[in-house]
Structure 1
Amino acid sequence: MSSTPYHIEVEVQTSYIEEQSSPEDNRYVFAYTITIHNTGSVAAKLLTRHWIITDSNGKTQEVRGEGVVGEQPHLTPGERFQYTSGTMIETSVGSMRGSYQMIADDGVEFDAEIPAFTLSIPRTLH
């Protein structure tokens, strides 16, 4: 457990979706599975998300919205929530980073940072 009452850890796993991608059309589709873990001491609800998606040409997409996959999970201390979503970029390598805007049960609003992670087709990066 974290020393702060408001702490969310975010873990990410990515995969390339070859059957939905079309490299000749600069279309690369990736899935990402996110595990959100409340390591703080106060329960909190995920309100909104903010993503910054960048391809290797430097093209950036910004995505904001309510919840994740149609849900606004409420996580008690120690609880985890996992979901899978996806994105499309124009290059074989890119990155994503962002944050979840949270509200704790005591009314405190805070951001849970999502560290940058790489999107890459297999055998592109070593």
Structure 2
Amino acid sequence: MSNIPFNPSLVGVSVVTTFLPNHSIPDEGHFTFAYTITISNASDLPVQLVSRHWIITDANEEIQEVRGEGVVGEQPVIPPGESYRYTSGATLATPLGYMQGSYYMVVREPMDVSPGELPTFEVPVAPFTLHTPTALN
């Protein structure tokens, strides 16, 4: 394993959200949102996203918890100085809510070791809002 010190704060996360009216049925309490996440690796070592944990809360304080391997069917390796972007979605019963969570990652050094044998570090994702265009007016 690498003896190089690693600073998890060098892995950053940014989020852009979009309400999807064509996939929503407001009269039935069905509000669908897309979120695009960019994970940036500002370290000198490759990192791999192994799993995720999301807590999705609507305006009624109803909580959905999601845990799973990777994102959108992938466990991407992000080389030093590069980023990985993906889009996924969430459906709420209200026009307003938020998501927060964590990614669990490993430093992929050396590359010939299975990710399961490497120490995991957590990259928190700060709460971000999911809302229809008029929900915050």
Q: Please classify the TM superposition score into its range, dividing by the shorter chain length.
A: over 0.9
Which of the numbers 36, 39, 46 marks the counterpart of 1:36? 39
Residue of structure 2 equivalent to 1:57: 60
Give the 4+ runs in structure 1 shifted more than 6 A: none
Question: Does 1:66 find its partner at 2:69?
Answer: yes
Trace 1:96-111 onto structure 2 (pairs within 5 A). Answer: 96-106=99-109, 107-111=118-122
Give the deviation of 1:4 after TM superposition: 5.1
Give the deviation of 1:124 after TM superposition: 1.8
Query: Any gaps of 5 or more consecutive residues in structure 2?
Result: 110-117
Normalized against structure 1, the TM-score is what?
Answer: 0.92
More strand by share: 1
Residue of structure 2 equivalent to 1:12: 15
Give the deviation of 1:125 after TM superposition: 1.3
Q: Deviations over 1:2-40 (max 9, x none)?
A: x95333100000000001101110000000000010122
Residue of structure 1 equivalent to 2:81: 78
> How far apart, CA to CA, are the structure 1 residues paired with 2:6 and 2:81?
13
The answer to whether the 8 A contact 1:5-1:41 is kept is no
Give the deviation of 1:113 after TM superposition: 0.9
Question: Does 1:94 find its partner at 2:105?
Answer: no
Normalized against structure 2, the TM-score is what?
Answer: 0.85
> Highest CA radius of gyration, 1 or 2?
2
Q: Deviations over 1:49-85 (max 9, x none)?
A: 1000000000000000110011101012211000000
> How far apart, CA to CA, are the structure 1 residues paired with 2:52 and 2:68?
6
State the identity %: 44
> How far apart, CA to CA, are the structure 2 residues paired with 1:16 and 1:93?
10
SS in 2 for 1:113: strand
> How far apart, CA to CA, are the structure 2 residues paired with 1:123 and 1:79?
36
Query: Any gaps of 5 or more consecutive residues in structure 1?
Result: none
Aligned CA RMSD, in angstroms, stands at 1.5
